[in-house]
């Protein structure tokens, strides 16, 4: 690598710096007088020219932008639309995995959301009212009724009409008792028949339940998704007739209907049995006596006000109704939270479905593919895409050249594969930390090539030699570096020939390389400066 050093060659050395122009002139005159006859002062003429200071490094092409792509949803790779080297446009579908599980999860999430919408949003129901609205309205009605009941008890007054009705009912009940005592008949035959019917109904329910369980056995769930026809024994495919899915659907519908009918029949048999048993267990006389007792109690209630127990019970009922109403309100708020969660679940399920499709995020070229159709892939990258239209270089320079590297510095690039072409670029990034390469600490930088006009793109990994231009001076005054005398760090002077005498003159130095230095001020083109003394052999 090129490095910039100042080589001070010559026999003139200043012991101290400063002292004024007279001191410099005296030193120069003394030096001229003391030069032996067999030695000759070398000189050089100040000239104009171009001076370029650079550092050499190595680099390789890298993509402008490289992105590793992976599925957001794991699954079996079913579609692969691209190959390595293909050019794609942002939005192109690159690959897909089996989305059946994701679609099923989405459907379940949407169903759950729809159910909660019915629970909370009246606009989504055909009745124009939600379940929560109904629960709140019912709780409100119960609360109002409980309040009214308590108010009636607390504000009770005897009602003459009610007393008259109670007395009439009592008279009627007494007459019924007298009539019932003249009639006595009972039979147990109807009870026995009702018992037999009840036992048969119970057996029918058990049989229907067994048929239902067999039809809805999870082992038969596969038939729901199997739409191939059922072939009769000996019948060759393809065969006609109902499919497995149609048969299981028919069997399950039939089993459910049969179970429902059997259960309904059992309820009817139980009611009939209870009616018959009640009729046989209590005589008409007992029934009439019960009615009489009830009529007597009604009359007593009509003539006397509510008891404290009744008032206490009404107050308890009111409190329970208040709590039920508050519970209905809280349930409504909770349902809103559940609705938000259900919406989040739908969004997540939609994202999972979208995650089964891999699309190109940018325009670019496919660099690598690491999966094949039929493989199970997770969320790790399965391919990479890069923009190769704007080539960049990753370059490395010796750490001693750090002062030669900076943002926007010009770079000349020569590729090993294209030795006859010189490309120009600019440094767009310099790493803040040194990088270790082959045991050495080096400076890493990124170069952007300017106006790349080749018909083909540069392959990634193409090797190149780079010259980082640390400085460039055009039409500059140049002197050999041997002419410079550093008086103090950063302050230079030169000896110039003035009528065969030496004159020490302070100069301002700009760029320097191994050979020449740029003089910003202190000299003019055509001035003669000394570069040292050589032996003449005389």
Model pLDDT for residues 466-498, shown as the tens digit of each residue: 989 888 888 999 999 999 998 888 899 999 988
Tell me which residue range forms the domain holding 521. Answer: 1-64+390-538
Distance CA(481)–CA(137), nearest Å, equals 101
Per the listing, tokens 């400063």 go with: 18
pLDDT of residue 187: 46
Distance CA(259)–CA(245), nearest Å, equals 21
Residue 240 corresponds to which tokens in the numbers above?
Answer: 């006609």
Residue 449 corresponds to which tokens in the numbers above?
Answer: 């090539």
Average pLDDT rounded to a whole number, residues 301-311 = 81
The reply to whether 284 falls in a domain is no
Do 445 and 372 belong to one domain? no
45 close to 526: Cβ distance less than 8 angstroms: yes
Q: Give me the residues paired with residue 387 across strands.
A: 65
Do 400 and 517 belong to one domain? yes
Do 81 and 114 belong to one domain? no
Could you list the beta-strand ranges (E) of 63-140. Answer: 65-69, 75-80, 87-88, 93-97
459 close to 418: Cβ distance less than 8 angstroms: no
276 close to 192: Cβ distance less than 8 angstroms: no
pLDDT at 197 over 60: yes
Do 442 and 422 belong to one domain? yes
Where residue 186 falls (left for φ over 0; alpha for ψ -120 to 50; beta otherwise) is beta
26 close to 497: Cβ distance less than 8 angstroms: no
Distance CA(42)–CA(503), nearest Å, equals 14
Average pLDDT rounded to a whole number, residues 238-251 = 79
Element (H, E) at 503: strand 501-512
The reply to whether 509 falls in a domain is yes
Average pLDDT score over the chain: 83
Average pLDDT rounded to a whole number, residues 229-239 = 67
Residue 397 corresponds to which tokens in the numbers above?
Answer: 């320079």
| Structural domains of the chain, count | 3
pLDDT at 515 over 60: yes
Do 75 and 31 belong to one domain? no
Do 434 and 460 belong to one domain? yes
User: Measuring CA to CA, which residue among 508, 510, 511, 506 is closest to residue 496?
Assistant: 506
Do 312 and 362 belong to one domain? no
Do 419 and 500 belong to one domain? yes
> Cα–Cα distances in Å, from 171 out to 283, 462, 514?
20, 117, 138
Question: For residue 38, what are the contacts with CB-CB under 8 A and spacing of at least 6?
Answer: 535, 536, 537, 538
pLDDT of residue 68: 93
* Angle at alpha carbon of residue 100, lines to 95 and 103, rounded to 5°: 100
**How many Cβ atoms from other residues are within 10 Å of residue 112's Cβ?**
18
425 close to 374: Cβ distance less than 8 angstroms: no
The reply to whether 231 falls in a domain is no
Model pLDDT for residues 23-81, shown as the tens digit of each residue: 444 444 444 444 555 567 888 999 998 888 888 899 998 888 889 999 999 999 999 99
Rg, Å, the chain Cα set? 53
Q: What percent of the chain has pLDDT over 70?
A: 86
Per the listing, tokens 């609205």 go with: 133
Could you list the beta-strand ranges (E) of 310-462. Answer: 357-359, 364-369, 376-377, 383-387, 392-398, 410-415, 418-430, 435-437, 440-449
Do 402 and 519 belong to one domain? yes
The reply to whether 218 falls in a domain is no
pLDDT of residue 322: 94
CATH number at residue 537: 2.40.30.170
pLDDT at 22 over 80: no
Among the ranges given (357-361, 503-507, 532-536), the one the predictor scored with the smallest mean pLDDT: 532-536
- pLDDT confidence tier of residue 110, bands split at 50, 70 and 90: very high
The reply to whether 480 falls in a domain is yes
Among the ranges given (161-170, 180-189, 251-260, 267-276), the one the predictor scored with the smallest mean pLDDT: 180-189
pLDDT of residue 8: 27
The CB-side HSE value for 113 (13 A sphere, CA atoms) comes to: 17
Average pLDDT rounded to a whole number, residues 424-451 = 89
Distance CA(255)–CA(263), nearest Å, equals 12
pLDDT of residue 280: 56
The reply to whether 194 falls in a domain is no
Distance CA(356)–CA(400), nearest Å, equals 51
The CB-side HSE value for 140 (13 A sphere, CA atoms) comes to: 7
**What angle do the packed helices 131-154 and 100-120 form, to 10 degrees?**
30
Sheet containing 93-97: order of strands: 357-359, 93-97, 75-80, 376-377
CATH number at residue 361: 2.40.50.100
- Count the residues in the chain: 538
Q: What is the DSSP letter of 384?
A: E
Residue 462 corresponds to which tokens in the numbers above?
Answer: 């193409």
Q: Residues of 349-378 as b/e, b for ≥16 C-beta within 10 angstroms?
A: beebbebbbbebeeebbbbebebeeeeebe
The answer to pTM > 0.85 is no
- pLDDT confidence tier of residue 20, bands split at 50, 70 and 90: very low
Element (H, E) at 508: strand 501-512
The reply to whether 200 falls in a domain is no
The reply to whether 296 falls in a domain is no
Distance CA(309)–CA(50), nearest Å, equals 116
Do 429 and 510 belong to one domain? yes
Do 316 and 454 belong to one domain? no
Do 16 and 131 belong to one domain? no
- pLDDT confidence tier of residue 343, bands split at 50, 70 and 90: very high
- pLDDT confidence tier of residue 296, bands split at 50, 70 and 90: confident
Q: What percent of the chain has pLDDT over 90?
A: 40
Distance CA(347)–CA(118), nearest Å, equals 19
510 close to 473: Cβ distance less than 8 angstroms: yes
């Amino acid at each position: 690598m090129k490095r910039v050093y100042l080589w001070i060659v010559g026999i003139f050395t200043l012991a101290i710096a400063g002292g004024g122009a007279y001191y410099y002139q005296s030193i120069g005159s003394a030096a001229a007088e003391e030069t032996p006859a067999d030695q000759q002062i070398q000189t050089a003429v100040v000239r104009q020219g171009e001076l370029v200071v650079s550092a050499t490094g190595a680099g390789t092409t890298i993509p402008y932008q490289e992105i590793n792509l992976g599925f957001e949803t794991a699954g079996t790779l079913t579609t692969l639309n691209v190959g390595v080297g293909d050019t794609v446009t942002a939005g192109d579908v690159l690959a897909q995995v089996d989305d059946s599980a994701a679609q099923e999860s989405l459907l379940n999430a949407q169903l759950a959301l729809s159910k909660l919408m019915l629970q909370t949003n009246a606009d989504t129901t055909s009745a124009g009212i939600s379940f929560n609205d109904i629960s709140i309205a019912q709780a409100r009605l119960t609360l109002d009724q409980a309040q009214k009941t308590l108010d009636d008890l607390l504000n009770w007054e005897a009602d003459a009409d009610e007393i008259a009705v109670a007395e009439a009912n009592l008279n009627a009940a007494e007459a019924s008792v007298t009539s019932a005592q003249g009639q006595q008949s009972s039979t147990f035959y109807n009870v026995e028949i009702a018992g037999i019917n009840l036992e048969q109904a119970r057996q029918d329910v058990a049989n229907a339940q067994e048929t239902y369980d067999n039809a809805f056995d999870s082992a038969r769930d596969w038939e729901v998704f199997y739409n191939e026809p059922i072939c009769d024994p000996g019948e060759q495919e393809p065969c006609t007739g109902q499919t497995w899915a149609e048969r299981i659907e028919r069997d399950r519908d039939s089993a459910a209907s049969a179970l429902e009918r059997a259960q309904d029949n059992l309820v009817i048999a139980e009611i009939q049995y209870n009616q018959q048993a009640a009729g046989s267990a209590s005589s008409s006389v007992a029934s009439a006596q019960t009615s009489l007792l009830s009529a007597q109690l009604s009359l007593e209630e009509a003539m006397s006000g509510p008891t404290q127990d009744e008032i206490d019970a009404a107050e308890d009922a009111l409190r329970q109704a208040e709590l039920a109403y508050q519970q209905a309100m809280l349930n409504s708020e909770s349902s809103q939270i559940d609705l938000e969660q259900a919406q989040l679940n739908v969004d997540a399920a939609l994202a999972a479905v979208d995650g089964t499709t891999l699309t190109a995020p940018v325009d670019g070229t496919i660099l690598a593919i690491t999966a094949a159709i039929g493989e199970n892939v997770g969320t790790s990258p399965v391919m990479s895409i890069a923009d190769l239209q704007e080539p960049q270089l990753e370059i490395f320079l010796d750490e001693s050249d750090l002062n030669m590297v900076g943002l926007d510095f010009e770079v000349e690039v020569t590729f090993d594969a294209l030795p006859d072409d010189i490309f120009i670029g600019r440094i767009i990034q310099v790493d803040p930390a040194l990088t270790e390469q082959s045991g050495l600490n080096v400076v890493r930088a990124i170069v952007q090539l300017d106006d790349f006009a080749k018909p083909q793109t540069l392959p990634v990994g193409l090797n190149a030699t780079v010259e980082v231009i640390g400085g460039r001076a055009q039409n500059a005054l140049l002197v050999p570096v041997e002419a410079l005398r550093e008086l103090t760090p950063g302050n230079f002077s030169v000896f110039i020939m003035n009528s065969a005498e030496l004159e020490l003159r302070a100069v301002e130095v700009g760029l320097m390389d191994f050979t020449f230095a740029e003089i910003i001020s202190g000299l003019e083109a055509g001035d003669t400066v000394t570069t040292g003394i050589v032996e003449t052999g005389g």
